[in-house]
Amino acid sequence: MIFKHLTVAAALAVAVVSFPAQAQPSAPRVALETSEGTIVIELAPQAAPKTVENFLGYVKSGHYNGTIFHRVIPSFMVQGGGFAADMKEKPTRGTIPLESQNGLKNARGTVAMARRGDPNSASAQFFINVVDNARLDYPNPDGNGYAVFGKVVEGMDVVEKIRAAPTSTRGVYENVPVQPIVIKTAKVTQ
């Protein structure tokens, strides 16, 4: 009887060694090299797969290179990814469905998609929350929320520099940094 238990235990040990648990792939990371320094964002494809795929598509196509953080509200967020330094909006692909019911919260340092009134209107613009913004979590503020798809894992000091930038109004756009804060390059690093 003891021999039978030892044989079963040995067989299980061999099975565990032969079939190791699959390692979870590491989350993709994107480095935004800005005129103020580097911000590294870790993406959450399990929580927001369509949003992450969309963002990575823009990164890989070079869309974000040369865009600016065009909206800076120190008590709220910093927004970028849609305008060149001359405040001309860059063309985008189609919009994506809202993934705000993914359990991720608009906490300080998280990254979410900007959108218009239509909940399914996000395309390329994103924002980094500089404070906890529970008012943007599903179902707030309009019954839909804003889709968080990543978080800053390096460079919150750079985000703080952007947050502190003096702003003014340029044409119809408010809260625009006086000196353009440029995303020089955006690239996948992991």
Q: What is the per-residue pLDDT for 11?
A: 43
What pLDDT does 24 receive?
56
Instruction: Identify the pLDDT of residue 25.
Output: 66
φ/ψ of residue 16, rounded to 5: -65, -40
Tokens of 97: 């469905």
Q: Which residues of the chain have pLDDT under 70?
A: 1-25
Distance set, CA 180 to CA 23, 42, 110, 115, 160 (Å):
42, 25, 22, 22, 15
Contact between 123 and 67 under an 8 Å Cβ cutoff? The reply is: no
For residues 16 and 8, give the distance between their C-alpha atoms in angstroms, rounded to a whole number.
12
pLDDT at 4: 46
* pLDDT tens column, 129-156: 999 999 999 999 999 999 999 999 999 9
Does CATH place domain 25-188 in 2.40.100.10? Answer: yes
pTM: 0.87
Residue 101 has a pLDDT of 97
Residue 47 amino acid letter: A
Angle among Cα 97, 127, 51 to the nearest 5 degrees reads 25
Contact 180, 87 (CB under 8 A): no
